[in-house]
Amino acid sequence: MLEDEILNVETIRSLLQTKSFGREPESILQVWDTIDSTNKHALQLAKDGASEGTCIISREQTAGRGRLGRSWVSPQDSGIYMSIILRPKLAMEDMPLITLATGVACARAIEFVCGASIGLKWVNDLILDRKKLGGILVEMQKPAVVVGIGINVQHDEAAVPEDLKEKMTWLRRGSDTKFSTNTLVVAIIAKLESYYQMLLDGHKSDVLNDWRSLSVNIGKEVSCQSGNQSLEGHVIDINEQGALLLRLNDGSVQSIYAGEVSVRNLDGSYS
């Protein structure tokens, strides 16, 4: 691996042109060789008063966290594992939009740096070639919010379990995939800063429209697990708070605020 492809603080610092995110003295930028979880560390820093825009990045996580209590497997130099502290001055009902804005920011950054076409699966999955490329875990340390981002960059195809090969993917899976992970991290921080600013400035419909244009769910038949409820229906849209609007088979429309969605394939199976 080329030296500048290894995530490192000097390269990231030299490339960052954000207003405040990741830039000292406004906020902290740390790149770890190994850490248990960047989210866990960022939550602690937030508790200790770290400022908005603080970015914690690691080459490896030994106890990476996923959504719904799952773990996020994070081998060294195989992915981007990063967490950013926000201190949002937003109405409580708009807080879920942070997850959507982060998804859009990551998708646009990946498109820009890697040229890959990314889709968003409600509420927080980054999709490439119909497979999961990454995910977002937002955790609260009131009044701060920690936005955790995990993106798969490279894996040894032969070492990936057979059942996962069809479900997950990584940016360097194809042939023409030359890019620097440092540059990608910088682009994600910059895009997140600007999409987050759009929310703060009250331009939430711009963020929502961008999310809609990247959605792999809208217009599709889906199966949705929300709490202990299992629903099937047609996704008509997302609402102003980012909830999924599902038309059920009886014609009623249900707003889903939390849960997990599977998209129906042509053969009737779900992915």
The site for ligand BTN (CB under 6 A) is made up of: 37-39, 61, 64-67, 70, 72, 81-83, 124, 135-137, 148-150
CB of 30 to ligand BTN, least distance (A): 13
Structure tokens at 250: 């009886």
**Residue 38 burial (CB count, 10 A):** 29
CB of 4 to ligand BTN, least distance (A): 22
**Residue 21 burial (CB count, 10 A):** 24
Q: CB burial class (10 A; 0-12, 13-18, 19+) of residue 172?
A: middle
CB of 143 to ligand BTN, least distance (A): 20
Using Cβ positions, the residue closest to ligand BTN within the complex turns out to be: 135
CB of 131 to ligand BTN, least distance (A): 13
22 or 150: whose CB is closer to ligand BTN?
150
34 or 205: whose CB is closer to ligand BTN?
34
CB of 24 to ligand BTN, least distance (A): 21
68 or 91: whose CB is closer to ligand BTN?
68
CA pair distance 105, 195, nearest whole angstrom = 6
CA pair distance 70, 116, nearest whole angstrom = 27
206 or 262: whose CB is closer to ligand BTN?
262
75: preceding bond cis by omega (within 30 degrees)? no
132 or 234: whose CB is closer to ligand BTN?
132
Dihedral Cα 100, 74, 72, 184, nearest 10 deg: 10
Structure tokens at 225: 């697990």
